[in-house]
Amino acid sequence: MKPVIGVMPLWDEEKDSIWMLPGYMDGISRAGGIPIIFPFLEDEEELSRLINLCDGLVFTGGQDVSPRIYHEEPLEGLIDDCEKRDSMEEIILERAIAEDKPILGICRGIQFINAALGGTLYQDIPSQHPSATDHHQQAPYELPIHEVRIVEGTPLHECLKVDKLPVNSLHHQAVKTVAPGLTEMAISPDGIVEALYRPESHFLWAVQWHPEFSYLTDESAMKIFRAFIEAIIYKD
């Protein structure tokens, strides 16, 4: 039986509408999962039932994570957040971890998971952590723009079997202090944490780059989607 994967909805503020990048859905499908896009819900019981229908969950990219989650005031004019995503995803993450549902975080996903579990973020890399590393590339987004060092002994290193990985990068926020319970799996040349996992969980990985843009051309991107799906299939 193929596992069902709940995918956090992307939000288009201008159109007041849910949307989705096809790469999330297609990447999950090609890895052997059945993706479904979550609606926006506030009711915890309803969310619980939806989570129970899913074998795994993907925390997708999107708007900035509100700095209020890690008890900071937003930097003036630099934060574009989505309150209803933050509040729904807080409920989902807590329940999913409690039930040990496999979780994959991508871009905003790594930031959100880190912030929700008690870490902090750079609200804006150019103003708070300027460096020569370009974290905000132009299209085509499937091409790598900077390298990351994969930390030896981590599940990501075991999965990819490389010490260095060229990645794409499309973020202006980033992990600053790592949340308790999470461990670094990849670091950019300017010291930004670009992948995390939670050793206590069966599978909770998060990456700062974008396998959903590069999965057709970059084998490492598909390996990450496959590691996630296989962790579900071989869970019990």
Residues engaged in binding Mn ion (CB under 5 A): 135, 169
Closest residue to Mn ion, based on beta-carbon distance = 169
Q: How many CB atoms lie within 10 A of CB 76?
A: 6
User: Which residue's CB is nearer to Mn ion, number 169 or number 220?
Assistant: 169
Could you please report the per-residue DSSP string of 49-112?
HHHHH-SEEEE---SBPPGGGGT-PPPTTT--B-HHHHHHHHHHHHHHHHTT--EEEETHHHHH
Catalytic residue among 107, 157, 171, 194: 107
Is 175 or 232 the residue whose CB approaches Mn ion more closely? 175
Question: Which H or E element spans position 146?
Answer: strand 146-150
Please give the structure tokens belonging to residue 36.
């479904």
Catalytic residue status for 210: yes
How far is residue 47's CA from residue 64's CA, in Å, rounded to a whole number? 22
Residue 185 in contact with residue 157, Cβ under 8 Å?
yes
Q: Which amino acid is at 62?
A: G
User: Closest separation between CB of residue 69 and Mn ion, Å?
Assistant: 21
State the minimum distance, in angstroms, from the CB of residue 85 to Mn ion: 21
CB of residue 146 to Mn ion, shortest distance in Å: 6
Q: Which two tokens stand for residue 202?
A: 């069966």
| Six token digits for residue 19 | 């949307």
Helix, strand, or coil here: 226? helix
**Candidate list 89, 146, 159, 212, residue with the active-site label:** 212
107 is catalytic: yes
User: Shortest distance, CB of residue 213 to Mn ion, whole angstroms?
Assistant: 13
Q: Of the two residues 41 and 151, which places its CB atom closer to Mn ion in the complex?
A: 151
Nearer to Mn ion, 90 or 184 (CB): 184
Name which of 38 and 59 has its Cβ closer to Mn ion: 59
Residue 69 makes CB contacts below 8 A (sequence gap 6+) with 86, 90, 112, 115, 116
Q: Which residues of 122-147 are buried (b: 16+ CB within 10 A; e: fewer)?
A: bbbbeeeeeeebebebeeebbebbbb
The residues that are catalytic are 107, 210, 212
